[in-house]
Amino acid sequence: MTILFAAPEFDADAWRRRIAAVAGGRAIAVEGSDAYDPAAIRYALVWQPPAGLLAALPNLEAIFNLGAGVDRLMADTTLPDVPIVRVVDPNLTGRMTEWVTLQVLTHQRSALAFLARQKAHEWVEEASPAASAVRVGIMGLGELGRDAVEVLVRLGFQVAGWSRSARTVPGIETHSGAAGLDAFLARTDILVVLLPLTDETRGILNAGLFAKLARDGALGGPVLINAGRGGLQVEADILAALDAGVLKAASLDVFGTEPLPATSPLWERDDVVITPHVAAISDPSALCRGIVAQIEAHERGEELKHVVDRALGY
Amino acid sequence: MTILFAAPEFDADAWRRRIAAVAGGRAIAVEGSDAYDPAAIRYALVWQPPAGLLAALPNLEAIFNLGAGVDRLMADTTLPDVPIVRVVDPNLTGRMTEWVTLQVLTHQRSALAFLARQKAHEWVEEASPAASAVRVGIMGLGELGRDAVEVLVRLGFQVAGWSRSARTVPGIETHSGAAGLDAFLARTDILVVLLPLTDETRGILNAGLFAKLARDGALGGPVLINAGRGGLQVEADILAALDAGVLKAASLDVFGTEPLPATSPLWERDDVVITPHVAAISDPSALCRGIVAQIEAHERGEELKHVVDRALGY
């Protein structure tokens, strides 16, 4: 049996070494550079593999998706009906919480304004309300959202959450569904988006939503932080909302087109923090260890964990 | 009985309003603008008051120092022998933890490098090791240090602490005294300094100490974060260590001379984050409520909290 690695954007040699280091002698084939027998492939480690590739593997038992987002994978209409495992190790969740916490504190503590003062050699106290005076709203209360909630609550922020279906999260107020969205937005100064991309959520971050965020908050205007998926956001609406003062600032890790084209007006803005889809980048070695552990459990007849619900799309 | 406000750098009118709002009818005098009978003053709210001022108040019962640092206050050789209360409300501690967390994450997640990439419209993944691969060392395990430890541990950092005398802090390895310093520094990638300024600690952040920090860490060089007091650091040594690669970067909230002179070479460096002594700036209204609560407790015969130990200097 062979493990197939199919992630055209990744450094194949580095991944081959990492997998080999933990794979216990299992054969490894790298799509695009190794010849292999399709019938020998039992497991595929993928990130945006070529459409049709996985359908050509008759004995495939599981797909390990090397990232949280499965929307592009599921856009392959020939995708075989085997379990898709989202590779979510504790590290991935922790990585996202690091990034979300950094961005929330950056805006709450006026870090960008202080950097501008520094460039001008100016010793000036910029406004930075206490965490206890700032209302953070988390859209998406899955594993990532709930972990960020814990840290932000510990830091003293007023945290609330919103999710598609009703959820209870210890220590915070939660809202759900279309009916609960307006009340959630109306009490939110910093909106942190950790939603999956589905037909329901595509383009949800638009002018209409931004206009419903709190106008009276301690930060002097609402802040958007999106580490979910680029397809959630309407970038023209973000730019217009920043220009109109409907949004005060934004931190974006994901974009409709990635890499973000060099011509995008987002790059130039000093009220936008851009990172190149690295929020929840994992330690690849840790990922490989987790995947092989799941393969071993599967071979013992145990159930795979973190399997995508295809009907829900995440 | 009258409350005296003596903080020449602060906005006296704003503070008069805040104190009046919670002082329950007690008289308030502002040094420098109001005439008052020195014998009527029972309590003084101060920040860097004129030397000799407090000695002229025969019935003074307590001094409330509007900040954590008391070194400049105690440099007044005429200071009367009444309790000095450090104004440390939960908010002050939380504020410091916000700032420390922001700075640690800024360096761990390469936020400055990403901002530079953004200015160049470059979609490039900068190194940012997981928190679990980064060793943070906290110097100073008082109320501020212990609170920062909790949040940094929750974020997954490898945290250790150092203090003058031995202390046990749940969940972390601790070192103490001169004998324990080298081992502590040798395992530290990000050094967070929350020490008081005393004869023992003045100038402790110098070339000799920087050279003992870990050289083999995941960040590619040690980072200094000082939110203690400016007198702890030798700024010429920081500059030389940055130039020599002995330090990779620094975040400084405090300086030997404040405001930091516009001519300081620190301002220009893109490997240094400068904030103007705002790390633990409190919500002033919350401070006033806390002070009046202590005055009321004192009048009922209860002990004052957060009283400075004059022998230790903090």
What would the DSSP string read from start to end of B222-289?
Answer: -EEEE-S-GGGB-HHHHHHHHHHTSS-EEEES--SSSSPPTT-TTTT-TTEEE--S-TT---HHHHHH
- The answer to whether residue B308 sits within a structural domain is no
- Would you state the pLDDT for residue A184? 98
Other Cβ atoms within 10 Å of A182 Cβ, number? 11
Structure tokens at B24: 């329950």
Of A161, A147, A155, the residue nearest A92 (C-alpha): A147
Q: Which residue of A has its CA nearest to B99?
A: A109
- Would you state the pLDDT for residue B117? 96
**Residues A227 and A290 occupy one common structural domain:** no
**Residues B54 and B162 occupy one common structural domain:** no
- The answer to whether residue B312 sits within a structural domain is no
**Residues A65 and A31 occupy one common structural domain:** yes
Of A32, A38, A37, A39, the residue nearest A5 (C-alpha): A32
**Residues A114 and A252 occupy one common structural domain:** yes
Instruction: Identify whether the C-beta of residue B80 lies closer than 8 Å to the C-beta of residue B43.
Output: no
- Would you state the pLDDT for residue A90? 59
Could B121 and A281 be called an inter-chain contact, meaning their C-beta atoms sit closer than 8 Å? no
Nearest-angstrom CA–CA distance, A162 and A47: 29
Instruction: Identify whether the C-beta of residue B223 lies closer than 8 Å to the C-beta of residue B171.
Output: no
- Would you state the pLDDT for residue B314? 76
Q: Cβ contacts (< 8 Å) between B124 and chain A: which residues? A: 276
Q: Which amino acid is at B218?
A: A
Closest Cβ–Cβ partner in B130, B151, B283 for A94: B130
Instruction: Identify whether the C-beta of residue B43 lies closer than 8 Å to the C-beta of residue B60.
Output: yes
Nearest-angstrom CA–CA distance, A235 and A240: 9
Q: Which residue of A has its CA nearest to B274?
A: A118
**Residues B41 and B55 occupy one common structural domain:** yes
Nearest-angstrom CA–CA distance, A302 and A15: 26
pLDDT < 70 stretches in chain B: 88-90
- Would you state the pLDDT for residue B154? 97
- The answer to whether residue B313 sits within a structural domain is no
CA distance A35 to chain B (A): 31
Nearest-angstrom CA–CA distance, A136 and B51: 44
- The answer to whether residue B224 sits within a structural domain is yes
Count of A–B CB contacts within 8 Å? 121
- Would you state the pLDDT for residue A88? 67
**Residues B149 and B67 occupy one common structural domain:** no
- The answer to whether residue A167 sits within a structural domain is yes
**Residues B146 and B292 occupy one common structural domain:** no
- Would you state the pLDDT for residue B218? 83
**Residues A193 and A265 occupy one common structural domain:** yes
Nearest-angstrom CA–CA distance, A19 and B106: 31
By residue range, what is the domain housing residue B98? 90-274
Q: Which residues pair with B29 in a beta bridge?
A: B4
Q: Which residues pair with A193 in a beta bridge?
A: A139, A226
Q: Which residue of B has its CA nearest to A90?
A: B156
**Residues A73 and A148 occupy one common structural domain:** no
Could B101 and A97 be called an inter-chain contact, meaning their C-beta atoms sit closer than 8 Å? no
Nearest-angstrom CA–CA distance, B306 and B87: 7
Could B118 and A274 be called an inter-chain contact, meaning their C-beta atoms sit closer than 8 Å? yes
- Would you state the pLDDT for residue B127? 75
Distance of CA A46 to CAs A51, A144, A307, B112, Å?
A: 11, 21, 14, 31
Task: Give catalytic residue positions of B.
Answer: 229, 277
Specify the CATH number for the domain of residue B148.
3.40.50.720
Locate all alpha helices (DSSP H) within chain A, ordered by sequence. 12-22, 71-74, 90-108, 111-119, 143-154, 177-186, 207-210, 235-244, 284-299
Instruction: Please say if A277 is a catalytic residue.
Output: yes
- Would you state the pLDDT for residue B69? 82
Number of compact structural domains in chain A: 2
- Would you state the pLDDT for residue A288? 87
Q: Cβ contacts (< 8 Å) between A151 and chain B: which residues? A: 151, 154-155
Does the ipTM exceed 0.90? no
- Would you state the pLDDT for residue B113? 96
**Residues A294 and A230 occupy one common structural domain:** no
**Residue-level pLDDT, tens digit, chain A, 314 residues:** 899 999 998 888 889 988 998 899 999 999 999 999 999 999 999 999 999 999 999 999 999 999 878 888 999 999 999 999 998 665 789 999 999 999 999 999 999 999 999 999 999 888 788 898 899 999 999 999 999 999 999 999 999 999 999 999 999 999 999 999 999 999 999 999 999 999 999 999 999 999 999 998 889 899 999 999 999 999 999 999 999 999 999 999 999 999 999 999 999 999 999 999 999 887 777 788 889 999 999 999 999 999 999 888 77
Of B64, B72, B24, B69, the residue nearest B44 (C-alpha): B64
Prediction pTM value? 0.76
Q: Which amino acid is at B128?
A: S
**Residues B146 and B84 occupy one common structural domain:** no
Q: Which of B96, B100, B154, B190 to mutate to test the interface with A (most CBs of A within 10 A)?
A: B154
- Would you state the pLDDT for residue A217? 86
**Residues B59 and B169 occupy one common structural domain:** no
> Measured on CA atoms in the order A72, A74, A77, A78, is the torsion positive or negative?
positive
- Would you state the pLDDT for residue B11? 84
Nearest-angstrom CA–CA distance, A270 and B102: 19
- The answer to whether residue A306 sits within a structural domain is no
Structure tokens at B301: 């015969």
- The answer to whether residue B306 sits within a structural domain is no
- The answer to whether residue B233 sits within a structural domain is yes
Closest Cβ–Cβ partner in B94, B123, B259 for A156: B94
Structure tokens at B251: 């975040």
